[in-house]
Amino acid sequence: MSIQRQSICILGATGSIGTNTLDVIRRHPERYHVFALTANQNIDLLFKQCLEFEPEYAVLTSEEHAELLQAKFNAENISTKLLIGIEELAWVASHKDVDTVMAAIVGAAGLIPTLAAVKASKKVLLANKEALVMSGAIFMQAVSESGATLLPIDSEHNAIFQCLPEHFVSQGIQSCGIHSIVLTGSGGPFLKKPLAEFPMISPDEACAHPNWSMGRKISVDSATMMNKGLELIEACWLFDVQPEQVEVILHPQSIIHSMVRYQDGSVLAQMGNPDMRTPIAHAMAFPERISAGVEPLDFMQISQLTFEQPSYERYPCLKLAKEAMTEGGNTPARLNAANEVAVAAFLDEKINFDQIASVIQQTLTETEYAGVVDLKSVLAADRVAREHAQQIVEALSTD
């Protein structure tokens, strides 16, 4: 059988998801062609990736880094064209020669290029959960208007997608007889740490996830469980369910990646080793299956799967996120913005680990709720919350 080669644009190619995506592509050169790679600052890695995959375009966000990369391209006679700026990210993501876009920029910075890919009816592989959390209704409306194919990369949502019947996309979740969605989370590195020690947690400790190797922002989000909170919001939009229909349970082994409960009592789970190449390969090849380089699951070695209820005292960010989704409007966008500022401040050692939740809570209380009418209102809510959270951080760090 001859395979149609897919042309791929990877937004955030130098990150954890980006490099895992390239690893899957490397195993299937007959299936995938790399059209564009983008990055923020890591020009050494982007250069190596361009040498290996010879994309038509590379995109950076600053002139300064682009000059350095261009010099490297010239020295090696690389013909990849180098573009600079956010508009250029959106331009490559919606280019007519692109079939598939891996949206793997971290944070709000990914929203505009990811939406551009959606509006251009691409097959969009969504890792950048913050984009959906911020703009849920607008994002999903753009998907339905453009006819873009949206496939989740987040391991939990990819698992749920795999546990739902195929007709859920065309006929809606109501036709599937589901009872609820069960999101699993490992609980991160501080599942058993005494709460009294939380103020002393260092950035490196927070980034040392027991099961997954990820970028620093999402690693901190996993330690606070804001990641699971963002995923709850993401699940509501992707699968058209209410926050009360999403259960969050702790499963420290990270073998069951999430589950769907059906009204007849059946529960379907997707399992595998914790390796992002599985959901990436699933979405890239969908509806086919391809090898991903992931070790087969060894049940004898796992021996047991355990489950616990998460505590809001240990994970206040999870509660904040659930409440934000219930409130709706611009609240998830404000939550996300405040979290990005607080996590960056924690990684910069300006605030303590336990202050991440208080920065977010205070920002939500002190900035205004509004309904979301368009992208402009989302971006405005993001900006206001970001500035407000920054002021709270400054006050805390000079205390």
Binding site for ligand NAD (CB under 6 A): 12-18, 39-40, 42, 61, 104-106, 109, 127-130, 154, 212, 214-215, 217-218, 276
Beta bridge partners of 262: 178
In the bound complex, what is the minimum distance in angstroms from residue 157's beta carbon to ligand NAD? 9
Between residues 42 and 397, which has the closer beta carbon with respect to ligand NAD? 42
Determine whether the annotation assigns residue 209 to a binding site. yes
In the bound complex, what is the minimum distance in angstroms from residue 219's beta carbon to ligand NAD? 8
Is 130 an interacting residue with respect to Mg ion (CB under 5 A)? no
Specify the DSSP class assigned to residue 329: T
Tell me the residue nearest to ligand NAD as measured from the CB: 15
Between residues 370 and 379, which has the closer beta carbon with respect to ligand NAD? 379
Select from Mg ion, ligand NAD, none the partner in contact with residue 128, using the beta carbon and a kind-dependent cut-off of 5 to 8 Å: ligand NAD
In the bound complex, what is the minimum distance in angstroms from residue 22's beta carbon to ligand NAD? 11
**CA distance linking residue 351 with residue 347, whole number of Å:** 8
Between residues 105 and 118, which has the closer beta carbon with respect to ligand NAD? 105
Between residues 251 and 362, which has the closer beta carbon with respect to ligand NAD? 251
In the bound complex, what is the minimum distance in angstroms from residue 155's beta carbon to Mg ion? 5
Number of residues that bind Mg ion (CB under 5 A): 3
Select from Mg ion, ligand NAD, none the partner in contact with residue 113, using the beta carbon and a kind-dependent cut-off of 5 to 8 Å: none
Specify the DSSP class assigned to residue 197: G
Please tell me whether the peptide bond between 287 and the residue prior to it is cis, using omega within 30 degrees of 0: yes
Determine whether the annotation assigns residue 222 to a binding site. yes
In the bound complex, what is the minimum distance in angstroms from residue 373's beta carbon to Mg ion? 30
Cβ proximity of 111 and 135 under 8 Å: yes
Judged by DSSP in three states, 270 sits in strand
**CA distance linking residue 25 with residue 100, whole number of Å:** 12
Q: Tell me the two tokens of residue 60.
A: 């950076």
Cβ proximity of 333 and 372 under 8 Å: yes
Nearest to 231 by CA among 315, 119, 146: 315
Cβ proximity of 49 and 80 under 8 Å: no
Determine whether the annotation assigns residue 192 to a binding site. no
Give me the sign of the Cα torsion angle 69, 112, 150, 236.
positive
Helices (H), the chain: 16-27, 43-53, 63-76, 86-93, 111-119, 129-146, 155-163, 168-171, 203-207, 216-224, 226-239, 277-285, 299-302, 316-327, 331-347, 355-366, 375-397
Between residues 88 and 221, which has the closer beta carbon with respect to Mg ion? 221
Select from Mg ion, ligand NAD, none the partner in contact with residue 238, using the beta carbon and a kind-dependent cut-off of 5 to 8 Å: none
In the bound complex, what is the minimum distance in angstroms from residue 234's beta carbon to Mg ion? 9
Q: Quick one: which of 56, 88, 130, 154 contacts Mg ion (CB under 5 A)?
A: 154
Q: Tell me the two tokens of residue 36.
A: 């564009």
Binding site for Mg ion (CB under 5 A): 154-156
Annotated binding site: 14-17, 42, 128-130, 154-156, 186, 209, 215, 222, 227-228, 231
Residue list, annotated binding site for 1-deoxy-D-xylulose 5-phosphate: 129, 155-156, 186, 209, 222, 227-228, 231
